[in-house]
Amino acid sequence: MASAGTAQMERKSTGQAQRASSRSKSKVESLAKIFARRDAAVKRGEFDLLGRIYLVRTERGDIDFGKDGPFLAKLDPGGELALMNEWKGFPDIVTATHELCPDCQAKCLSCDGEGHRLCMGLNCGGAGRMILGYEQCPAPGCARETGKANRGCEQCEGSGKVVGQTAECPSCKGTKKQSCPLCRGTGRMSTGRKDGAPSDSNAPYCASCNGIGRKLEREPQAWNDYVLGTMEGFTVLGPIHEILLRADVCRDAKQSIELASILPDADGNLGALLVKKPETTGQPWYWLGGELGNLTRL
């Protein structure tokens, strides 16, 4: 029943979009003419860049573009919104795991290369024993004999105290070594540079982990998860409620991320993304409807 209801809602959305298309043909110019006019304005340079889209919030979920989103512009005059890049589909969501990247590993520089280093446990310092307390120096002429420290005493180096009771260090079990926390005892570390070059070198970033040094997992974002309907041969994605922009990439902004609500336009239309053949990349895509609210720096 749930799947049937969902299908009915999708058909209803498509029908609404198609009816809106019929009304638009009778009242205003077609989408083809609207987009041709916008393309001409862009070619003439009649626009102001607002920023690169980082994230789009829709009723069907968030579309995460990361650092490679399209540029958003406002056309002049009129203030219509326009996308400046070709359709590439939605990028995969990439997250870093706790595993080392296998393609940029090198010998760990914080241990012996086998996953061990001197114990750094409390009061051990690689001695294998934990100091429980100190006592007066027993050397002739020093604290135990005279009651005060002999500044020239070699045994206590003038402190008047020497190590008293000790116990086996619980961190290293008396071995004087412990597992390296940086490489987690593997003796290997990922530098984030090509072929495991030093992290502070000028070598290119590792292509597998983008310089993070951790194995990456990718989760696809399918465009058909965001389909609202069809309109004059275009697939409509949305509707859009909010966007995050990276403003520093194209204009003077003190902070790089700005948030804006997408409000209904004068005709009550919400913002949406339109593309002719979403299964094919390298084609134009368009922003239709909605008005940009005030930008708020985050």
pLDDT confidence tier of residue 253, bands split at 50, 70 and 90: low
Give me the number of domains the chain comprises.
1
- Residue 245 and residue 295 in contact, taking contact as beta carbons nearer than 8 Å: yes
Q: Is residue 163 part of a domain?
A: no
Q: What residue spans of the chain are helical by DSSP H?
A: 2-27, 31-43, 143-146
Kindly state the average pLDDT of the residues 87-108.
90
Q: According to the model, what pLDDT value does residue 19 have? A: 43
Strand partners, 143: none
**What's phi and psi for 194, nearest 5 deg?**
-55, 130
In this predicted structure, the answer to whether residue 5 has a pLDDT above a threshold of 50 is no
Given the structure tokens 């012996």, which residue do they identify? 112
CA dihedral for 96, 97, 102, 107, sign (positive or negative): positive
Q: Is residue 159 part of a domain?
A: no
- Residue 248 and residue 52 in contact, taking contact as beta carbons nearer than 8 Å: no
Q: Is residue 153 part of a domain?
A: no
Kindly report, residue by residue over 19-59, the tens digit of the pLDDT.
Answer: 444 443 445 689 999 999 999 999 999 998 888 999 999 98
256: domain range? 2-92+221-297
Q: pLDDT exceeding 70 applies to what percent of the chain?
A: 88
Q: In the numeric block, which tokens belong to residue 74?
A: 């406002």
Q: According to the model, what pLDDT value does residue 250 have? A: 66
Q: In the numeric block, which tokens belong to residue 261?
A: 């609500």
- Nearest residue to 270 (alpha-carbon basis) of 295, 291, 285: 291
Q: Is residue 172 part of a domain?
A: no
In this predicted structure, the answer to whether residue 243 has a pLDDT above a threshold of 80 is yes
Q: In the numeric block, which tokens belong to residue 278?
A: 């979403």
- Residue 234 and residue 202 in contact, taking contact as beta carbons nearer than 8 Å: no
The rounded distance, in Å, linking the Cα atoms of 163 and 93 is 57
Q: According to the model, what pLDDT value does residue 2 have? A: 41
Q: Is residue 34 part of a domain?
A: yes
Q: According to the model, what pLDDT value does residue 20 have? A: 41
Q: According to the model, what pLDDT value does residue 140 have? A: 93
DSSP, collapsed to helix, strand or coil, labels residue 8 as: helix
Q: Is residue 10 part of a domain?
A: yes
Does pTM surpass 0.85?
A: no
Q: Is residue 264 part of a domain?
A: yes
Given the structure tokens 């940029």, which residue do they identify? 104
The secondary element (H helix, E strand) that includes residue 246 is strand 234-246
By the 10 Å C-beta count (0-12 exposed, 13-18 middle, 19+ buried), 113 is classed as middle
Q: Is residue 111 part of a domain?
A: no
